[in-house]
Homo-oligomer: A and B are copies of this chain.
């Protein structure tokens, strides 16, 4: 028998409200979703920097960094953990592996949010059901879905890592927008258009939203 059911949740003595009061803002998750090369990470980092300048407490989680540690692929686990381990636990890019990728990230952003941090997540997160599951878990007003709406044609022209080129050549597979679907949000809190807009101005749109919602203080 597994001892799966023998774990019990602890009540922490410091509440989220306590931490939010200390920080001077609410804990929340700003979830950027969009195609590869749509501009998610760039806007996320500019937003993080602007929040820092406002003395807010923020953190960035993005696909590239998480894929090197929390959700590392088999190849990255081989040296440190051995073959059977890397085979069993390494994450790839199949539909089920993508679901687990986003599920774990959802669990982490929830812990950050509970710590009162403005948590900025930038992941392709192609499946609507995966994003909606996190929204439901975090509760109303805590999950701010930001659709980085860049046409795939533009993403393919940018292609800073040459991934679209490789995907089209069949050198990599399960690539979102090429041979794996992207499901855009139906009612995101914000939609950002990166064509003819700077990352700075788009980050400012997010900040304006946070102010309106009372998640960060209004301009003094």
Is A184 in contact with chain B by the CB < 8 A criterion? no
CB interface residues, A 66-81, toward B, < 8 Å: 66-70, 73-76, 80-81
A73 touches B9 (CB 8 A): no
A96 at the binding interface (Cβ < 8 Å): yes
- Across-interface contacts of A85 in B (CB, < 8 A): 96, 99-100
Given A13-B46, A85-B100, A96-B84, do A6 and B172 touch, yes or no (CB 8 Å)?
Answer: yes
Give the residues in chain B near A19, CB-CB below 8 Å: 52, 57
Residues of B within 8 A of A89 (CB): 100, 103
- The answer for the CA separation of A117 and B12 in the assembled complex, in Å, is 17
Knowing A70-B104, A115-B117 touch, does A6 contact B80 (C-beta < 8 A)? no
Interface residues of A in 149-180 (CB under 8 A from B): 161, 163, 166, 171-175
Q: Does A186 have its Cβ within 8 Å of any Cβ on chain B?
A: no
Interface size (A, Cβ < 8 Å)?
72
B75 touches A107 (CB 8 A): no
Q: Which of A18, A41, A61, A108 has the most CB of B within 10 A?
A: A108
Asked whether A13 lies within 8 Å of B45 as measured between CB atoms, the reply is: yes
Chain B residues with Cβ below 8 Å from A58 are 14, 115
With A3-B172, A73-B2, A96-B85 as given contacts, are A10 and B64 in contact (CB-CB < 8 Å)? yes
Question: Which chain B residue shows the least CB distance to A63?
Answer: B7
Instruction: Find out whether the CB atom of A166 lies under 8 angstroms from the CB atom of B6.
Output: yes
Given the interface pairs A68-B7, A99-B81, A115-B117, the reply to whether A13 lies near B61 with Cβ below 8 Å is no
Q: How far is the CA of A23 from the CA of B58 in the complex (A)?
A: 11
Q: Are B61 and A8 in contact (CB under 8 A)?
A: no
Q: Which residues of A84-99 have CB atoms within 8 Å of chain B's CB atoms?
A: 84-85, 88-89, 92-93, 96, 99
Query: Across the interface, which residues of B come within 8 angstroms of A59, CB to CB?
Result: 111-112, 114-115
